[in-house]
Amino acid sequence: MMREPLLSVRELRTYFLNNKKIVRAVDGVSFDVNKSEIFGLVGESGCGKSATCRSLIRLVQSTGEIVGGEILYNGEDIVQAPEKRMAEIRGREIGMIFQEPMNTLNPLTTIGVQLMEVYQRQKLSKAEMTEKAVEMMRLVGIPDPVTRLKDYPHQFSGGMRQRAMIAIALAAQPKLLLADEPTTALDVTIQDQIIRLLLELREKLSMSIILVTHDMGVASRMCDRIAVMYAGRIMEITTSHELFYNPRHPYTLGLMRSMPLAGKGVRLEPIQGTPPDLSEEITGCPFAPRCKMACDRCRTESPALREVEPGHLSACHRAEELTGESFLTCKEVQ
């Protein structure tokens, strides 16, 4: 039986206006996120992964706008929802955490006040709110929560701030958490702690997470399924095992070959060139100018995201020719 997806994005387009030019940051993105699934959006900077994530709760910067497509959350279209309904969805249904917690926490009030703000709409007494806040802090592993509630964000370390952000995002018990590069600003040992925390919370609260990251290592550790984005489009979607062991898009393979996974002396194979300028019209496949496999068809006809194997989608005309290559072959050629 097919499970009903929690979130279903269809042909989402978010455009920005920059210097009187239209920048197609998100250009026809479609994907589903199932219940209690961790779904990864990976790609290099400027590929539209953050813009996609922000579009999902309609928090696109003022120069941008969702110009088309639909975002079905439990069957309800978020793109069309009135602003009043959106205010209810944000936080209560879909929570969000960001890369740099110092920029998103209010420096002028204590963590406790910011956390308890979430409970104010539930008409609880002060004592009940404090109790709930302490419980939340304990859940995300902040030691000594009763005293820490009275601390300001600057008194927290980087890792603790990210934990506090997670506590605030989860206080209203959202069913979906959007995590935009949650560990990028942290040291590896702290990153490891936050990864473990998010994985544990997913189990406990059975929520779904959309993880935006540029780090293939983090994505492979956390995600059930991964979408690889490039130039505002999705290039490939599949389970994380499939993506690493059986990639079906030259861009995904290019990313893996760029990583120093093999030993010394094995030369890296970087993807030549640079990503396209999104303010210009792209004909054909956006990756074609950098792709070693590109043929005439790739330069003229934009490949649709299609199922090349059950559950494995790829937007490449020549996906079938890519078999038997994986990150392991990149790792083992010595």
Partner 1 sequence: MSEVLLSVENMVKQFPIKQTMFDVIARKPKRYVRAVDDVSFQVQKGETVGLVGESGCGKSTLAKTICRLHSPDGGKVVFDGMDMFGLRSDELRRVRYKMQMVFQDPYSSLNPRMTVRQMLTEILSVHKLCPKEERTARELEVLDMVGMGENALDRYPSQFSGGQRQRINIARALIMKPDMLIADEPVSALDVSIQAQIINLLIDLKNELDLTMLFISHDLRVVKYISDRVVVMYLGRIVEMGETEELYESPCHPYTDILLKAAPEVDPDSDGGEYVIHGETPSPIDIPGGCRFHPRCPYADEKCKTVEPPLVELWPGRCVACHHRLGGQGPA
To partner 1, the closest distance from the beta carbon of 35 in angstroms equals 21
Distance of alpha carbon 202 from alpha carbon 125, whole angstroms: 29
Residue 84 or residue 264: which is nearer to partner 1 going by CB?
Answer: 264
| Two tokens, residue 137 | 């802090």
**Do the beta carbons of residue 231 and residue 27 sit within 8 Å?**
yes
Instruction: Say if residue 270 is exposed, middle or buried (CB neighbours under 10 Å; 0-12, 13-18, 19+).
Output: exposed
Distance separating alpha carbons of residues 253 and 258, to the nearest angstrom: 9
Q: Please, what is the minimum distance in Å from the beta carbon of residue 17 to partner 1?
A: 20
Residue carrying structure tokens 């990149």: 330
Q: At what angle do helices 158-171 and 188-205 cross, to 10 degrees?
A: 20
| 29 bridge partner residues | 12
The residue among 13 and 214 lying less far from partner 1, judged by its C-beta, is 214
Provide, rounded to whole angstroms, the least separation between the CB of residue 102 and partner 1: 14
Residues near partner 1 (CB under 8 A) are 44-45, 157-160, 187-193, 195-196, 214-218, 220-221, 239-241, 243-245, 254-261, 263-264, 267-272, 274, 327
Q: What is the nearest approach in angstroms of partner 1 to the Cβ of residue 245?
A: 8
23 or 57: CB nearest partner 1: 23
CB nearer partner 1, residue 159 or residue 174: 159
Q: Given the complex with partner 1, which of 89 and 322 has the nearer CB atom?
A: 322
Q: What is the DSSP letter of 82?
A: -
Nearer to partner 1, 85 or 196 (CB): 196
Q: How far is the CB of 71 from partner 1 (least distance, A)?
A: 27
Query: Would you say 143 or 324 has its CB closer to partner 1?
Result: 143
Distance from C-alpha of 46 to C-alpha of 276, rounded to nearest angstrom: 10
Whole-number minimum distance, CB 1 to partner 1, in Å? 26
Instruction: Output the six-digit token pair for 115.
Output: 């956390």
The nearest distance, CB 265 to partner 1, in angstroms, is: 9
Bridge partners (DSSP) of residue 229 are 234
Phi, psi of 269 (to 5 degrees): -115, 85
Helices and strands (H and E) in the chain: how many = 13, 12
